[in-house]
Amino acid sequence: MHSHFLVEPPAVPLPLPATDPDAMPIDLAHLFRMTLGDARLQAEVLDLFDQQIALLVARMDTAPPAAMATLAHTLKGSARGVGAWEIVTAAEAIEAAVAAGSEIEGPLAAMDRAGAEARAAIARLRRDRAPA
């Protein structure tokens, strides 16, 4: 029906890492669905997300509360797109803490952990897809 829109057939998904897939901080099945199975697009999206995590989490650490909530909200949207659910949860906690005027150190620490885990997973996926 709409096959004329496909430039090439969908690629295979990025390989699952050797570790327990339930422990993977990126939901690769979700990413596969969001990218229609295009491995190059998956890799590009993950590379951009990796850069965004590094930039926004670093800015959160020094931002005033209102800006911190905005940065968390931005990262939350991207995290939902790739299936980084721990980052989504941490971002929601930051937004809630800022809105309530409550302690922010715990939610920021959770974001630091979730961001580091996601970035490590993306690095593993890069190594796994690199030509031998």
pLDDT tens by residue, 57-81: 999 999 999 999 999 999 999 999 9
21 or 123: which leads in pLDDT:
123
* 129 pLDDT more than 90: no
The pTM of this model reads 0.81
- The helix/strand/coil state of 77 is helix
H or E segment and range at residue 25: none
- What local confidence, expressed as pLDDT, does residue 7 receive? 46
Query: Which residues does 56 contact at the CB level (< 8 Å), separation at least 6?
Result: 71, 72, 74, 75
- What local confidence, expressed as pLDDT, does residue 130 receive? 74
pLDDT band, residue 132 (cuts 50/70/90)? low
Contact 87, 114 (CB under 8 A): yes
- What local confidence, expressed as pLDDT, does residue 16 receive? 44
Domains defined along the chain, listed by start: 24-129 (1.20.120.160)
Contact 26, 84 (CB under 8 A): yes
5 or 101: which leads in pLDDT:
101
End-to-end Cα separation, the chain, in angstroms: 38
- Among residues 63, 58, 54, 38, which one has the least CA distance to residue 118? 54
Write out pLDDT tens, residues 4-41.
444 444 454 444 444 454 579 999 999 999 999 999 99
* pLDDT above 90 coverage of the chain, percent: 78
Q: What integer is the mean pLDDT of 34-61?
A: 96
